[in-house]
Amino acid sequence: MWDQLRSSFAMADCDADPSVLAQARRYTHNPQQFEDQLREVLPRLIYVQQVAAQYDVAGEFVLLPWVESHFQSPPVRNHQPAGMWQIMPVTAGSMGLRVDGRYDGRLDVPAAANAVMKLLKQYHDQFHDWRVADYAYNAGEFSVRKFIQKHGMPADEPVIPKWPVRSVTREHLTKLLAMACVVREPARFDVSLPTLPDEQHLVQVKITHSMPMARAADHAGISVNTLKDLNAAFRSDMIDAGAASYLLLPASHVDQFRNALLAQPQTTTTDDRRDSTTNMAVTSPPVAKTQRKTHTVRPGDSLWQIAHDYAVNVTQLQRWNHLRGNTLKLGQVLQVSDAN
C-alpha cells in the first residue's frame, strides 16, 4: 500500500524546500516512537487511502489527518473542531455531515473521509493546484479567493507559496509535504513503514436497525471500547441506524457480525425501544454479499466502490484479480471473494 500511496503523490518531494525536510526530521526524531504511532493509526490511514483513490485526490491528502490530529479524535467540545480531520461544526453542515447530541458525523470515519475528499476534489477542480487546495482547507475557500484576486495564482516555485497567509496555513502545507517526504524516503529518516494484514483492514458493514452498542460488539466478537472507538460518531451507548446505516469493523470480524445478525430474530425488544434514540422500522437482514464469487464491471464502477460493496479491501481485489492499478474495463469479471 505504501507503493500505491507514493505513486498517487502529486506535489513536491523532500528536497523542494528546506522547511519540508526540517519538518520531516522533526516528525521522525524518535524513529521507534514514530513507527509505533504510525502502526496504531494504519487501519484508518489505509481506509482513507481507499476513499482518496475513489475521488482521485492527490495521495498527500491521505496523510492530512496526521497533520490535523495524528489520526486521533480528541474529546468533542462545543463550537470547536472535532474528529481526525478537525472539522468545525459550521463547516460540517456545509459538507453535509450531521452534528447533534446523538450523532456527530465528524467522528464518522467513512462519512467524514468522503466529505473531505469530495471537498478537496472540488477545490482542485476550481484552483487546479493541490497546494492551493490545502490552503483552502486550512484557511477557507473565501480567503483563498481573495488572495488569488490580489496576488494571482502562485508560481510553481517556491513550493510553499509566498502569499501573506497566516503562518499556521503555511505550516499546514509544510507539514503535509513533510509527512509525504517520510513516506517517499523512509530510509532517509531511519524509519520502517509498518504493514497491516488484510484481516485488520477496516470494512464498512451494513446494518438495518438500531441496537445497543454492547450487543453489536458481542455480535462482532470485539470489545465495546473497540467498537466505540471505530464508530465514535454515535454519542451514546445506542447505535442509531437512522443516523448511519453501517458500522466500521475489522475485516476479520465482518462474517461473525453478519452471521450473528442473520441468526438474530428481527424484532425490536422493549429495552431496545426504550434505549433507542429513534424508533426504526426493522427490515430484513441483508444477504451477505460475500456469498457471491464474481462481479461484472458496470458503467460507473470503481475498484473502491466494488471493494466497499463486497466488504473487502482494494488490495485484496487487486491481488485476487492480478491488477496493478485501479483501471477497470466494462464487462470485466472480477473475483470478489477468496477462492478458498
Q: Tell me, what amino acid is at 262?
A: L
Q: Could you report the per-residue pLDDT of 41-89, keeping only the tens digit for each? A: 999 999 999 999 999 999 999 999 999 999 988 777 778 899 999 999 8
- Which residue, of 189, 221, 250, is where some domain finishes? 189
- Which residue, of 152, 167, 189, is where some domain finishes? 189
- The verdict on 205 and 176 lying in the same domain is no
Tell me the angle at which helices 109-127 and 141-151 cross, rounded to the nearest 10 degrees. Answer: 20
The pTM score is 0.78
- The verdict on 37 and 145 lying in the same domain is yes
- The verdict on 314 and 228 lying in the same domain is no
* Lowest-confidence region among 8-17, 202-211, 255-264: 255-264
Q: What's the average model confidence in pLDDT over 207-229? A: 94
What is the three-class DSSP state of 305? helix
Q: Could you report the per-residue pLDDT of 20-31, keeping only the tens digit for each? A: 999 999 999 999
159-168 contacts at long range (C-beta below 8 A, 24 or more positions apart): 159/11, 159/12, 159/16, 159/17, 159/20, 159/131, 160/17, 160/19, 160/20, 160/131, 161/131, 161/132, 161/135, 163/135, 165/135, 165/139, 166/139, 168/138
- The verdict on 50 and 153 lying in the same domain is yes
Question: For the chain, what is the domain count?
Answer: 3
User: Is 256 domain-assigned?
Assistant: yes
- The verdict on 80 and 129 lying in the same domain is yes
Q: What domain range is 15 assigned to? A: 2-189
- The verdict on 293 and 268 lying in the same domain is no
Specify the DSSP element, H or E, that contains 184. helix 167-184
Q: Residue 118: which CATH number?
A: 1.10.530.10
Asked if residue 265 has pLDDT above 70, the reply is no
Q: Are 144 and 132 in contact (CB under 8 A)?
A: yes
Q: Residue 307: which CATH number?
A: 3.10.350.10
Separation between Cα atoms, residue 133 and residue 135, nearest integer Å: 5
Name the nearest CA neighbour of 108 among 137, 133, 77, 83.
83
User: Is 282 domain-assigned?
Assistant: no
Q: Which cell numbers in the block locate residue 277?
A: 434514540
User: Is 281 domain-assigned?
Assistant: no
Work out the end-to-end distance of the chain between its first and last CA atoms, rounded to an integer number of angstroms: 23
Angle at 242 between CA 115 and CA 137, to 5 degrees: 15
pLDDT of residue 276: 39
Q: Are 245 and 206 in contact (CB under 8 A)?
A: yes
- The verdict on 254 and 321 lying in the same domain is no
Burial 252-274 (b: 16+ CB within 10 A, else e): bbbeebbeebeeeeeebeeebee
- The verdict on 151 and 51 lying in the same domain is yes
31: CB partners within 8 A, 6+ apart: 189, 190, 191
- The verdict on 101 and 151 lying in the same domain is yes
Separation between Cα atoms, residue 48 and residue 113, nearest integer Å: 6
User: Is 128 domain-assigned?
Assistant: yes
- Which residue, of 165, 189, 213, is where some domain finishes? 189
- The verdict on 174 and 232 lying in the same domain is no
User: Is 284 domain-assigned?
Assistant: no
- The verdict on 309 and 172 lying in the same domain is no
- The verdict on 145 and 254 lying in the same domain is no
